Amino acid sequence: MSRREELVAEVMELLNRYQDAIEVGTRDDIQALVHLPVAYITEDDVQMRERYPFDPAKLREATGFHHGDSDYNVVHVEETKAHVLVTATRRREDNSAIENVGAFYILQKREGQWKVAAFSGIRTPA
């Protein structure tokens, strides 16, 4: 296995835990997977947040979100930074689509741990 493949595997392990936290976890669970402050890029602003900006439990309650079909493409990776393109469809328990998500994540490895350092997403109805 090449060093790049090893790094991608490390990044994917974090992203799989992140996806699990969105699907079944709490804000505290997902917040443990980001570096704080985390940069959140909205449609018209760049914010440095001292806590993760979304509560996955509230998202599930408000939308009926149960699981997602997510594709993570690690576009660039080095020893301490990775750029990831995310394409996902959020789904209800019956597998019907709620919305599509396209996002860009920047991950950093600090003190031996990969975490999300910055992200921006675009959500569109399914």
Looking at residues 87-111, what average pLDDT do you find?
98
Percent of the chain with pLDDT over 70: 100
Q: Which of the four pLDDT bands, split at 50, 70 and 90, describes residue 42?
A: very high
pTM comes to: 0.94
Residue 126: name the closest of 92, 98, 88 by CA. 98
